[in-house]
């Protein structure tokens, strides 16, 4: 059961033994968004074999990264332990690092709600959020819908069910999202080029990587300043 040892007494090695197996860090990524049920994880990681998911969850529990929490009369969820949650800055930094090397999407690549939520967190600039007025967006990518609220307090992201209102706050993103968003827009994977600064919002609309559905289109400028990944700037708290 103990994963094959690398035979070294070293912190990096220990870390890699804990979260270096295939799929493990992606499970952590999704749990960073919130507690998830077995089935949620399976949906969020469409290509993971079910036996691998179950094996990883056991290993992550043994490693003290994840714990299993029964919900009274409601099934059970997996969640990160405090120790597991310490991985957050590392996962976000890895997301920024990997962002630089992302090409265009493969034909059957998907964008999941959790991966997009984490991606927005990796790109979030607190400095821009404090310097600019608050903003309230609704972002559509594929059939994922996110309510993204930026203020001087920070970033709040809630996952919205295609049908109507945000998902159960206990499981999904965060708490209640009152009122209507100021800007609703839809994007394809090309939104990556907006985040990287390769495209301005105007160019993004021109090239149809982005489309305003409703609200104040000028807010796109603010969005582009708030969510931005510059090459070479991997680390942040």
Binding residues (CB under 7 A) for DNA: these are 3-4, 21-23, 37-40, 47-52, 54-55, 57, 68, 75-77
The Cα–Cα gap between 46 and 79 comes to 19
The Cα–Cα gap between 53 and 27 comes to 8
Site for a copy of itself in 118-157 (CB under 8 A): 118-119, 122
- Which of DNA, a copy of itself, none is residue 217 near (CB under 5 to 8 Å by kind)? none
Token look-up 């998830």 returns 36
- Which of a copy of itself, DNA, none is residue 49 near (CB under 5 to 8 Å by kind)? DNA
CB-based contacts of 68: which residues, under 8 Å, 6+ apart?
57, 61, 76, 77, 78
Helix, strand or coil, per DSSP, at residue 224: helix
What's the min distance (Å) between Cβ of 95 and a copy of itself? Answer: 4
Q: Toward DNA, which CB reaches closer, 68 or 170?
A: 68
- Which of DNA, a copy of itself, none is residue 38 near (CB under 5 to 8 Å by kind)? DNA
Site for a copy of itself in 70-109 (CB under 8 A): 82-83, 86-87, 89-91, 93-102, 105-106, 108-109
* Angle at which helices 24-33 and 113-123 cross, to 10°: 80
- Which of DNA, a copy of itself, none is residue 68 near (CB under 5 to 8 Å by kind)? DNA
Q: Toward DNA, which CB reaches closer, 38 or 97?
A: 38
Site for a copy of itself in 36-55 (CB under 8 A): 45-47
Question: Degrees (nearest 5) of the Cα angle 33, 108, 89?
Answer: 25
What's the min distance (Å) between Cβ of 38 and DNA? Answer: 4
- Which of DNA, a copy of itself, none is residue 51 near (CB under 5 to 8 Å by kind)? DNA
The Cα–Cα gap between 56 and 21 comes to 8
Decide if 201 contacts 210 (C-beta within 8 A): yes
Binding mask 189-218 for a copy of itself (x = CB under 8 A): x-----------------------------
Q: How many CB atoms lie within 10 A of CB 212?
A: 16
The Cα–Cα gap between 56 and 22 comes to 9
- Which of a copy of itself, DNA, none is residue 179 near (CB under 5 to 8 Å by kind)? none
């Amino acid at each position: 059961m103990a994963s094959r040892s690398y035979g070294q007494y070293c912190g990096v090695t220990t870390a890699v033994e804990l979260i270096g197996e295939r799929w493990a860090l992606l499970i952590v990524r999704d749990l960073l968004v919130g507690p998830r049920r077995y089935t949620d994880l399976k949906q969020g990681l469409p290509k993971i074999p079910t036996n691998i998911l179950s094996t990883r969850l056991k290993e992550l529990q043994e490693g003290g990264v994840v714990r299993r929490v029964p919900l009274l009369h409601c099934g059970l969820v997996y969640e990160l332990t405090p120790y597991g949650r310490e991985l957050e800055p590392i996962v976000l930094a890895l997301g920024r690092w990997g962002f630089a090397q992302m090409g265009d999407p493969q034909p059957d690549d998907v964008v999941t709600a959790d991966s997009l939520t984490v991606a927005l967190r990796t790109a979030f600039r607190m400095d821009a959020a404090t310097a600019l007025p608050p903003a309230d967006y609704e972002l559509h990518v594929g059939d994922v819908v996110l309510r993204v609220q930026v203020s001087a307090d920070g970033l709040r992201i809630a996952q919205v069910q295609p049908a109507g209102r945000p998902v159960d706050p206990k499981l999904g993103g965060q708490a209640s999202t009152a009122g209507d968003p100021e800007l609703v827009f839809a994007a394809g994977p090309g939104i990556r080029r907006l985040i990287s600064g390769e495209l301005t919002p105007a160019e993004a609309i021109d090239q149809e990587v982005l489309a305003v559905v409703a609200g104040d289109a000028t807010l796109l400028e603010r969005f582009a300043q708030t969510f931005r990944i510059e090459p070479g700037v991997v680390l942040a708290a």
